[in-house]
A and B are shown apart, each in its own frame.
Chain A
Amino acid sequence: MEKLNSTDNNYICEYCFIVNKISEAQFFINRFNLKPKKKFNLFPIFSNQKKDIWLAINQDTISPTVTPIYLNNCANANEQTTWIFFSFSFLSNLNSPHFIIIDEIIDSSTQNKLYPSVSCLKKFKRKNAFSNEQKFQNQERITLKNIYEIYKTSEKLVNKALIFVTTLSMPEKYELSDVDNKTIKSEQNKYITEIMNLSDEMKITIFPFFYVFNFFKKIKEEFKFSVYEQNVLENLLKQFNPNDLKNNLKFIKKLKNGKQVINHLKQKLL
């Protein structure tokens, strides 16, 4: 196997997606224009051109505990990366697709449980899920293959609030192909976008210093600063509340040069 992260790791991995099947990956591949990364040959791994979005598809032949670790290494992910597990599921009591966040994962064989974080997820419908494909008589239970193992491994890698276990539950009587593709896409698009935006907001609260640092990097890319000005800028930014910085970003982007940026920030601190 090729050595991971040997070169070319000058990028920040923002999102890692894990799915069980190619049909579940399709939406992400299209939406983010993901391309297969053939040099990683243990799992099918995809990423976009900027390498800030990555996706892995579980393989039946390999333990699912390996997937998050392998993807973490391939994507050069860090503790600020958002992890989204996505799967389709089928429920008997539904008439239309429902996007659901999982807040309790039950290992069907041992009955052990894990509790994904639900911080700031008030708006989403939530349910528990069983972690295998065993057929229940009561089809109102969501089963998500491999989820127990995947979640248990992922929670060691990142802040728990940044792992989202998601499913699009569909009426049980349908096969995946029967459900209107447009409906699925629009549901996925709506909710996955919402989660990604939410996780960006959450990161400002969880990692305020990193937000300021990333802000500094962004501003430095957009405007020219002398070395002295860079120091002034860095010191100014350290005095800001990250949320105030976020609110100022649009205005700052409209400014003409680095001097104006520094003056604007100084004014704001007065």
Chain B
Amino acid sequence: MINTIYVENEIKDHSRTSSILSKFKSSRIIYVNKYSEVFNKKKQSFRLQKKDPLLILAKKNNNLVLKAPEGFGIGASKNYYFSHMYNCIYDCKYCFLQGLYSSANYLVFVNYEDFLNQIKNLVTRNKGKSITFFSGYDCDSLAMEKVTNFADFFLKNYLENKKITYEFRTKSLQINPFLKNRPSENIIIAYSLLPGELAQKFDIKAPSINLRIKSLKQLTSLGWQIGLRFDPLIYNKNWKISYKELIRTILDEIDINYIHSISFGSLRFPKQIFNTISNMYPGDELFSHNFEKRDNVYSYKDEVEKEMILYCKNLIHKKVKKDVQIFSCTPY
């Protein structure tokens, strides 16, 4: 239950603000001039706020759609990402958001129309080029759907264009908007996946892997394109058995004809974020394996990374005869 909601004065009369507030009738509402007065303050504790997160409703004025980092893509010539929300209701131990913001409060930008306008502008500016727009970089795309209705709005209003792909990255089971709408070839619902026992340890508060696979099955049965994101690949002594089992289960359960793409990326953190997160979990198993620093990024040793990715790719190739696109995600 969200106990306190901060609302930017500028959007206090916005219809979406009213709609969201109506879902939290007993919460205390505090009006602020700028969300940054609450969200960006220094000397806050991310871990403490994660125990009891608050909600901030705001308007995003600039940088609504940004260039995706190098190595973040699924085949298009241009890659962009957008975030209608910062932070996430899940508490995955490896998540870079923990080291990115000083606050763990949920920040929702209610001006969804501006995100779509910006996307349209970019499509016009890059006429004829293939572009992927990613949602779910600074948050989980669907986890707060019941509150935000963002995916629902997006599916009703997005720009249809053969050259454009939109990816909703998620671990959530909130797939109702997709069940209600007709499948589109331009939209991919991509699930982050870990072997069950690792997900139990590290994907805190996120749905179990079995439930995520159930959602994937449901989506493919309706004809939606899906993405399988084995990112991060996490090393432990049984990793080969665990990933073999995971990949087998997924490919046995879902209709593989609707796999748009598969990507792999090993566990990796920019230096600053590694320091912040590893300090949050003294003695945690996640950081007990050897990391090495390459180009300001902490990750497993090069040979470990390569072995894990190659092994998983081979497992996929054995099972999937269809010409599925497979990608490796390189550091941020």
Which A residues are within 8 Å of any B CB, using their own CB?
79, 103-104, 113, 115, 117-120, 122, 126, 128, 155-156, 158-161, 202, 205-206, 208-209, 212, 238-242
Which of B37, B43, B49, B283 meets A119, CB within 8 Å? B49
A115 pairs with B37, CB closer than 8 A: yes
B3 pairs with A118, CB closer than 8 A: yes
B48 pairs with A119, CB closer than 8 A: yes
- Bound CA–CA A28/B3 (angstroms): 30
- List B contacts of A159 (CB < 8 A): 43-45
- List B contacts of A161 (CB < 8 A): 44-45, 48-49
- List A contacts of B279 (CB < 8 A): 208-209
Nearest-neighbour CB distance to chain B for A62, whole angstroms, equals: 25
**Contacts A159-B43, A160-B41; A238 near B282 (Cβ below 8 A):** yes
- List B contacts of A79 (CB < 8 A): 43
Nearest-neighbour CB distance to chain A for B41, whole angstroms, equals: 6
A206 pairs with B283, CB closer than 8 A: no
**Contacts A118-B4, A209-B279; A160 near B28 (Cβ below 8 A):** no
- Bound CA–CA A189/B4 (angstroms): 26
- List A contacts of B47 (CB < 8 A): 205-206, 208
B52 within 8 A of A: yes
B45 pairs with A119, CB closer than 8 A: yes
Closest Cβ neighbor of B30 among chain A residues: A104
Q: Enumerate B277-309 residues with CB–CB distance to A below 8 Å.
A: 279-284
A242 pairs with B282, CB closer than 8 A: yes
- Can you show 8 pairs from A to B with CB atoms below 8 A apart? A113-B33, A115-B38, A118-B4, A120-B52, A160-B43, A161-B49, A206-B48, A240-B282
Nearest-neighbour CB distance to chain B for A141, whole angstroms, equals: 15
Closest Cβ neighbor of B3 among chain A residues: A122
Closest Cβ neighbor of B33 among chain A residues: A113
- List B contacts of A240 (CB < 8 A): 282-283
**Contacts A103-B30, A159-B44; A118 near B282 (Cβ below 8 A):** no
**Contacts A115-B32, A161-B48, A206-B48; A155 near B282 (Cβ below 8 A):** no
- Bound CA–CA A240/B285 (angstroms): 11
Nearest-neighbour CB distance to chain A for B268, whole angstroms, equals: 23
B267 within 8 A of A: no
B30 pairs with A160, CB closer than 8 A: no
Nearest-neighbour CB distance to chain B for A105, whole angstroms, equals: 11
- Bound CA–CA A122/B54 (angstroms): 11
Which of A128, A205, A208 meets B282, CB within 8 Å? A208
- Bound CA–CA A260/B280 (angstroms): 29
- List A contacts of B28 (CB < 8 A): 103, 126
- Bound CA–CA A104/B281 (angstroms): 32
Which of A104, A122, A208, A212 meets B52, CB within 8 Å? A122
Closest 10 CB pairs of A and B: A239-B283, A206-B45, A205-B48, A122-B3, A120-B52, A119-B48, A205-B47, A159-B43, A119-B49, A161-B48
Nearest-neighbour CB distance to chain B for A127, whole angstroms, equals: 9
A205 pairs with B32, CB closer than 8 A: no
A212 pairs with B44, CB closer than 8 A: no
- Bound CA–CA A207/B207 (angstroms): 29
**Contacts A209-B279, A212-B282; A103 near B4 (Cβ below 8 A):** yes
B51 within 8 A of A: yes
A205 pairs with B4, CB closer than 8 A: no
- List B contacts of A209 (CB < 8 A): 279, 282
- Bound CA–CA A120/B53 (angstroms): 9
- Bound CA–CA A186/B29 (angstroms): 30
- Bound CA–CA A119/B46 (angstroms): 10
- List A contacts of B6 (CB < 8 A): 115
Nearest-neighbour CB distance to chain A for B280, whole angstroms, equals: 7
- Bound CA–CA A239/B51 (angstroms): 22
- Bound CA–CA A161/B41 (angstroms): 11
- Bound CA–CA A23/B113 (angstroms): 56
- List B contacts of A241 (CB < 8 A): 281-284
- List B contacts of A242 (CB < 8 A): 282
Closest Cβ neighbor of A206 among chain B residues: B45
- List A contacts of B32 (CB < 8 A): 113, 115
Q: Enumerate B1-40 residues with CB–CB distance to A below 8 Å.
A: 3-4, 6, 28, 30, 32-33, 37-38
- Bound CA–CA A94/B160 (angstroms): 59
Which of A103, A158, A202 meets B48, CB within 8 Å? A202
- Bound CA–CA A241/B33 (angstroms): 39
B283 pairs with A238, CB closer than 8 A: yes
- List A contacts of B48 (CB < 8 A): 119-120, 161, 202, 205-206
Nearest-neighbour CB distance to chain A for B20, whole angstroms, equals: 19
- Bound CA–CA A115/B43 (angstroms): 13
- List A contacts of B41 (CB < 8 A): 155, 160
Nearest-neighbour CB distance to chain B for A175, whole angstroms, equals: 30
- Bound CA–CA A120/B51 (angstroms): 7
- List B contacts of A239 (CB < 8 A): 282-283
- Bound CA–CA A206/B43 (angstroms): 10
Nearest-neighbour CB distance to chain A for B219, whole angstroms, equals: 36
Closest Cβ neighbor of B288 among chain A residues: A239
Nearest-neighbour CB distance to chain B for A206, whole angstroms, equals: 4
Which of A113, A118, A156 meets B54, CB within 8 Å? A118
